[in-house]
Structure 1
Amino acid sequence: MTPERKKKLRLLLRKKAAEELKKEQERKAAERRRIIDERCGKAKNLDGANEDALRAICKEYHEHIANIESGKYDLEMEIMRKDYEINELNIQVNDLRGKFIKPTLKKVSKYENKFAKLQKKAAEFNFRNQLKTVKKKEFELEDDKGAAEGDAPAEEAAA
C-alpha cells in the first residue's frame, strides 16, 4: 500500500469512529432520558393550574417519593443481609482451608506475669509449711533398726 492510500484509510477509519461515538452518545442520552421519565414520570404542566390541582400533583409526587424511599430501604436491608452472608461464607472457607486471621493481641504487662508467678510460689511454700511434720522414729520397724545398727559396725570394720 502506498502512503497516500494508508493516509486515506486512516482518515476514513477516524470518520467512522467519530460517527459511531456520536451515535453511542445519542443512544446513551436517549436511554438516560427514558429512565428518568420512567422513574419520575412526565413533567406536569403547572401553568394555569388552580390550588386543588397543585395539591393533587404534590400528593402524587409525595406518594411516588414514599414508594421510592421504601424500595431504597428494602434494597439496603437486602444488601446488608447479603454482605453478612458473604462474610460468614468467607469465614467458613477460611476455616476449611486452615488459614485463620490472626487476632490482634492485647498488651499485657510483664510485671503482672511476674507477680502471678511469685504468688504461685508463695502458695506452694505455705502449703508445705502447713503440713504436719512426722517423726521418723515412731514409724520405723524393729527389723529396720537392727539392720541399721548391724550395718554401722560392718562399715567401720571395712574402713
Structure 2
Amino acid sequence: MDDEKIAEKERKRREIRERLEAQLKSSQKKKGFMTPERKKRLRQLLRRKAADEVKRQQEQKEKERQRVIGERTGESKSLPDDVDQLQEICKQYHNRIYKLNEDKWDLELITCLKEYEIADLQSRVNDMRGKFIIPPLKKVSKYQTQLEKMRQWTYKLAKMDMRGALKSVKKEIELDDKHKKTETKPVWAAETKAVKQTVETTEIDAGEIDAGEIDDYDDDEE
C-alpha cells in the first residue's frame, strides 16, 4: 500500500516536471531570432550607419559650398600693374556687389510679403474654426507685482473717506427717570447761596465803614 502511494507521488512529480520543461522550451522558442546580443549589435550598426550618413551629407554640403563660392568669385587671376585696369576691375566688382544687394533686398521683401500672407491666412482659418491665437504674455517678476498691488492699495486708502464709514451716534443720551437731573435745586443749596450773599454784603459794608473812618481821621489831623 505504501509502495503504491510512493509510486503515485513520483508519477505526479514526473508529470509536473515534464510540463514545466515543455513550458520552458515553448517560451524559449517564442523569443524568436532577436536575442539581446543581436539587438545590441543591430543598434550599433544602425548608429554607425546614421553617423556615416550625416558625415556624407556634411561633405556634400561643403563641396556644394565650395562650388558656389568658386562660381561667384571666379578663378584667381594675376592682377595687372596698370592703374586703369585695376580701376576697371574694381568697378566690375562694385557693380556686381550692387546687383547682389538689389537681389537680396528684393528677396527679403518677397519673403516678408509671403510671411504676412501666411499669417493672415492662418488667422482666417483659426477664426473659421473658432480658435484664437493667444498673444505672447510678458513675464513679470513677483516682486514687481507685489509693489504694484501695494501702490494701488495705498492709492485707494488715501481716497477712502474714513469718517463717512464710521457709524453715526446720537449725541443726546436718553436717561431714565432716576438718572434725570431735577430742575429744582435742593433746599440746602438755596440756603448756602443766601448765606454767601449775606456774608458778601456785610464784608462790603464793613469795608465802606472803615474807609469812611480813615478819611475822618485824616481830616482831624489836618
Higher radius of gyration, 1 or 2:
2
What TM-score comes out, normalization by structure 1 length?
0.46
Which protein, 1 or 2, shows the higher relative CO under an 8 Å CA cutoff with sep ≥ 6?
Answer: 1
What TM-score comes out, normalization by structure 2 length?
0.34
